[in-house]
Amino acid sequence: MLASLDPVAPVYCVHPGRLATAADEFLTGFPGRVLYAIKANNDPVVLDALYAAGIRHFDCASLREIEAVTPKYPDATSYFMSPVRFPGDAGAAFNDHGVRHFMVDSVAAVAALVREIDTDRCVIFARMAVSHELRRPLTAQTRCPESVLTSTPRTSRQSISFEIVSMVPSIRRTWSTVPTTATVATPV
């Protein structure tokens, strides 16, 4: 196909059937929520195919990505999963687009987030960057110190989640961190 086109600009070759198959494998094989990271491929054809296949949760790294998802897929959930945001972006995501899931990786990020959103109505993810070698206690390997957990504003409906997968190279090591993550969260 490419040889016959002889393109001078990049060409997308999208296989909606393969996207649907991959989405189905994740949706049926993973016991939790499946989030598609918009930064992996934000082409509207790809997003439409994944949405048609049942993906309803989107990992957004910027307000612009949230703005691409929310109006087009009103029943989908956007997660603002970038711990670094421009001032005002969290507030715009919360107020204008109904985003209720945010990521932090430091005490300063919690403080900034509290100034922009109603934390009583949100889930705040504390990002834990885990080393490739799980020989040290998980608390010693996090970029999110325990002080983030203990300084997070307390509410009657507070919920804290952990992203432990980002820096772990194998599924066996990923699953081995789950019990340890629970011990970090228990004191909270």
Interval 41-98: pLDDT, tens: 999 999 999 999 999 999 999 999 999 999 999 999 999 998 888 999 999 999 999 9
pLDDT digits (tens, 9 = 90+) for 92-132: 999 999 999 999 887 788 888 999 999 889 998 887 654 44
In-domain check, residue 72: no
Give the residue carrying structure tokens 């432990």.
Answer: 164
The CA-atom distances, in angstroms, between 138 and each of 19, 78, 107, 125, 181 are 35, 28, 18, 16, 7
CA atoms lying within 13 Å on the CB side of residue 72? 16
Per residue in 154-187, is it b (16+ CB within 10 Å) or e — as a string? eeeeeeeebbbeebbeeeebbeebeebbeebeee
Residue 172 lies in a domain: yes
Is 85 inside any structural domain? Answer: no
64 occurs within a structural domain: no
Mean pLDDT across the stretch 151-173? 47
Chain-centroid distance, C-alpha 13:
26
Total of domains in the chain: 1
Give the tokens for residue 163.
Answer: 């992203």
Domain span holding position 169? 100-188
Alpha-carbon distance 179 to 104, whole Å?
Answer: 21
- Is residue 107 assigned to a domain? yes
Give pLDDT, residue 50. 95
Kindly indicate the confidence band of residue 8, based on its pLDDT and cuts at 50, 70 and 90: confident
Any domain includes 166: yes
Tell me if 87 is assigned to some domain.
no
Domain-located, residue 57: no
The mean pLDDT value for 147-153 works out to 46
